[in-house]
Amino acid sequence: MRPRTRRAALTSAAALTSAAALASAAALVSAGMPAMARTMATAAEGADAGCDCSHFAAELAATRALYESRGEGATIPLPPSAADRYREHILGTYARALCLVGCPDVAARDLDEARVVFASAAFKSRELDAANAGARRLDRALEETERCLAGPSPPPACHLWHGSIRGTLARGSWNPMQLALPKQLLEEFRAARAGAAPGDDPPDGAATRAEAMLLLRAPGVAGGDPAAARALMEQATASPRYACTVDNRVVYAEILARTGAPERAIAELQTAVDAGLPSCGDTRYENAVDLGGASRCLTRLESRPTADPGWDDDCR
């Protein structure tokens, strides 16, 4: 499935919020709130963050804004400052959200929204530093998504991140006795789509991509169906969101190449490269990185159309 080396089939799930929300929450913090009104928490991996649980909504908006601004400054080619900003904003989001998910006396629905932001940051942070640090963040996020899913009506994004994290943690320990896992993950990603047409699931068709990659790579006995994967991504190309995420084209290209249509895979990657950095969506940094992989992959496929150009690593 697609957790890959840098990131998964999934790109992030983040709610839309404005820079004004970040400013308003920052003002609350700097206004000298009474010490007893503030609940502080220590984030994992040595990063300290605090949040004001009595102003939960504003704190959550600020945390979302920090997450959504992770790609600012990303261009082609990527400057080092963009990578630094991405890392700082992802780890900062994780630290802030870690405090928020521990806030008492907050409505379950609101806590679940914080858990979604927390899990998305944990997932994207998994390879930003030492492997054991990333794994600890994933373990912590898995716990929070399980709490989210235990509620009566969890947000679809909780299914997305719970399935994504489970798949990532299982990558290094796969064995034939785990044949139930792909089917379970397929159910999670379909629940994450919540009835949306392929590719229309927010924020950028991540659940569709994850489902397609599972269908492509899982054994048939465990639910794999490459033809269904190809049909799913073919339908996703009709979504207005499709062109906003380079990963959509890379996933579809891999599926085409692995189902006997390398010439169409080449065309899909060429379209991505020719289009350049999308102006829509909030995955600007991820798109810039993926464009580099798509370009390398395209060169190899053009040279050897039937060979694996490095789908599992360098193409992404």
* Arithmetic mean of pLDDT, 185-194: 97
- Contact (CB, 8 A) for 155 and 139: no
Whether 157 and 46 map to the same domain: the answer is: yes
Using DSSP, state whether 10 is helix, strand or coil.
coil
Alpha helical stretches, state H, 150-240: 156-170, 180-193, 206-217, 226-236
Q: Which pLDDT value is given to residue 25?
A: 30
pLDDT band at 45 (very low <50, low <70, confident <90, very high): very low
| Residue 156 and residue 193 in contact, taking contact as beta carbons nearer than 8 Å | yes
Contacts of 263 (CB under 8 A, 6+ apart): 305
Arithmetic mean of pLDDT over the chain: 85
Residues 111 and 36 in one domain: yes
Query: Which residue, of 124, 158, 173, is where some domain finishes?
Result: 173
Last residue within a domain, chosen from 173, 191, 226: 173
Q: Has residue 35 got a pLDDT over 90?
A: no
Q: What pLDDT does residue 10 have?
A: 35
| pLDDT tens digit sequence for 215-272 | 999 989 889 999 999 999 999 999 999 999 999 999 999 999 999 999 999 999 999 9
Total domains present in the chain: 2
Does residue 89 lie in a domain region? yes
E strands within the chain?
39-42, 48-51
- Among 167-171, 179-183, 206-210, 279-283, top mean pLDDT goes to 206-210
Tell me the mean pLDDT in the region 109-134. Answer: 94
Q: Average pLDDT in the 39-61 region? A: 70
pLDDT tens-digit series, residues 84-121: 999 999 999 999 999 999 999 999 999 999 999 999 99
190: in domain: no
Q: Is pLDDT above 90 for 48?
A: no
Tell me the angle at which helices 108-124 and 156-170 cross, rounded to the nearest 10 degrees. Answer: 30
What pLDDT does residue 260 have?
97
Residue 315 has pLDDT above 90, yes or no: no
Residues 6 or more apart whose Cβ sits within 8 Å of residue 276: 76, 291
Query: Is residue 153 located within the same domain as residue 217?
Result: no
One domain, residues 142 and 223: no
Distance CA 272, CA 252 (A): 11
pLDDT exceeds cutoff 90 at 71:
yes
129 & 260 share domain: no
The answer on 70 and 5 residing in a single domain is yes
- Say if 287 falls within a structural domain: yes
What lies within 8 Å, CB to CB, of 172 at 6+ separation is none
Q: What local confidence, expressed as pLDDT, does residue 170 receive?
A: 87
* 168 and 212 fall within a common domain: no
pLDDT at 172: 63
| Domain around 17 | 1-173
**Spatial distance between the Cα atoms of 215 and 232, rounded to a whole number of angstroms:** 9
pLDDT at 39 over 90: no
Question: Which CA distances in Å does 185 have to 159, 204, 208?
Answer: 9, 19, 12
Pairwise pLDDT comparison (21 vs 219), residue with the higher score: 219
Question: Cα–Cα distance between 124 and 138 in angstroms, integer?
Answer: 10
Residue 40's DSSP bridge partners are 50
User: Does 159 lie in the same domain as 10?
Assistant: yes
Examine residue 86 and state whether it is found in any structural domain, yes or no. yes
Distance CA 163, CA 149 (A): 11
Count other C-beta atoms under 10 Å from residue 161's C-beta: 32
